[in-house]
C-alpha cells in the first residue's frame, strides 16, 4: 500500500466518522416527509364485529356497542367524542362541508391518545320514558353507561319503513391548541334504531 492509498483511506474514514457523529444533529434539523396523518372513529356491534348492531329497541332493555378511536396524527392528541340523538328530520354532520350537527350532545367521552394508539370501550344504552300516541313516539330519556339523560326526542311513524326511527350518533372532535378549544374533526359514526312498542 502506498502513501496515496493510505491518505485516501484516512480521508474516507474521517468522512464516515464525521457523518456518524453529525447524523443525530442533522436528523433534528432535516424533516422527512411523514406518511398520511389521520384519526379513526369506529362503531362495532356487541360481539366487537361490524355486525349484529342493535336495531329494534325496546324501552328499558339494555343494548351495547363498542366505540373506538385511533390516533395516527404523528403526535399526542386530545379527543372529545360527542354523543347525540336525532329523529328523521334533524340534521346529521355534513362531512362534505366539515360541519358538525347543530344538535347538542347529551353525553361525551374525553381522551388523550399518543401517536398510533387506540381507545375502545363498551357503550351500553337503553331508552327510558318511552310513550306512543298514534303515529308519534316520544323518547323522554336515555341511560348511557349507567347515567340517565333527559333527551325528549319525538319520532313520527315512518310508513315506508314501518317504524319509529331515531339515530344515535357519535362525532369526533379534536383539541386545537391555537384556538384553545375543540374543533369538529370531520368524523362521525351512527346507528339507526327502531323504537318498538313492546316485546
Q: Is 151 helix (H, G, I), strand (E, B) or coil?
A: strand
Grade residue 21 by pLDDT with cuts at 50, 70 and 90.
confident
Distance CA 103, CA 84 (A): 7
Angstrom distances, CA of residue 7 to CA of 18, 19, 197 = 16, 19, 92
Sheet holding 136-144, edge to edge: 38-44, 63-72, 118-133, 136-144, 147-156
> Do 8 and 61 share a domain, yes or no?
no
Cell of 175: 383539541
CATH number at residue 133: 2.60.40.3880
**Tens of pLDDT, residues 126-185:** 999 999 999 999 999 999 999 999 999 999 999 999 999 999 999 999 999 999 999 999
Q: Is residue 70 domain-shared with residue 97, that is, in the same domain?
A: yes
The answer, as to whether pTM is greater than 0.85, is no
Tell me the pLDDT band of 95, cut-offs 50, 70 and 90.
Answer: confident
Q: Are residues 117 and 169 in the same domain?
A: yes
- Specify whether 70 is located in the same domain as 123: yes
Q: Collapsing DSSP states into helix, strand and coil, what is residue 139?
A: strand
Is 76 in the same domain as 11?
Answer: no
| In a shared domain, residues 107 and 184 | yes
Q: How many domains does the chain have?
A: 2
Same domain, yes or no, for 102 and 161? yes
pLDDT band, very low/low/confident/very high, at 186 (cuts 50, 70, 90): very high
Same domain, 189 and 101: yes
> Does one domain contain both 15 and 103?
no
Tell me how far apart the alpha carbons of residues 127 and 191 are, in angstroms, rounded to a whole number.
14
Count the Cβ atoms, other than its own, within 10 Å of residue 26. 9
Kindly tell me if the per-residue pLDDT of 32 is higher than 60.
no
Which structural domain range is residue 20 located in?
A: 1-32
In the three-class reduction of DSSP (H, G, I as helix; E, B as strand; rest coil), residue 191 is classed as strand
Q: Are residues 19 and 89 in the same domain?
A: no
pLDDT band at residue 13 under the 50/70/90 scheme: confident
- Does residue 57 sit in the same domain as residue 94? yes
pLDDT of residue 129: 96
Same domain, 120 and 158: yes
Amino acid at each position: 500500500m502506498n502513501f496515496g492509498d493510505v491518505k485516501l483511506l484516512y480521508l474516507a474514514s474521517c468522512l464516515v466518522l464525521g457523518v456518524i457523529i453529525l447524523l443525530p444533529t442533522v436528523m433534528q434539523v432535516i424533516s422527512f416527509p411523514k406518511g398520511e396523518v389521520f384519526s379513526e372513529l369506529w362503531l362495532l356491534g356487541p360481539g366487537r364485529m361490524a355486525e349484529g348492531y342493535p336495531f329494534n329497541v325496546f324501552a328499558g332493555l339494555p343494548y351495547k356497542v363498542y366505540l373506538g378511536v385511533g390516533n395516527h396524527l404523528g403526535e399526542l392528541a386530545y379527543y372529545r367524542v360527542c354523543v347525540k340523538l336525532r329523529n328523521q328530520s334533524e340534521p346529521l354532520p355534513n362531512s362534505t362541508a366539515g360541519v358538525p350537527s347543530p344538535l347538542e350532545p347529551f353525553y361525551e367521552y374525553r381522551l388523550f391518545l399518543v401517536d398510533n394508539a387506540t381507545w375502545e370501550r363498551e357503550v351500553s344504552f337503553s331508552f327510558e320514558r318511552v310513550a306512543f300516541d298514534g303515529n308519534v313516539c316520544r323518547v323522554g330519556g336515555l341511560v348511557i353507561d349507567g347515567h340517565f339523560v333527559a333527551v325528549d326526542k319525538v319520532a313520527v311513524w315512518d310508513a315506508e319503513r314501518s317504524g319509529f326511527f331515531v339515530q344515535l350518533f357519535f362525532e369526533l372532535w379534536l383539541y386545537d391548541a391555537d384556538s384553545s378549544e375543540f374543533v369538529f374533526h370531520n368524523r362521525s359514526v351512527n346507528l339507526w334504531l327502531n323504537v318498538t312498542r313492546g316485546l
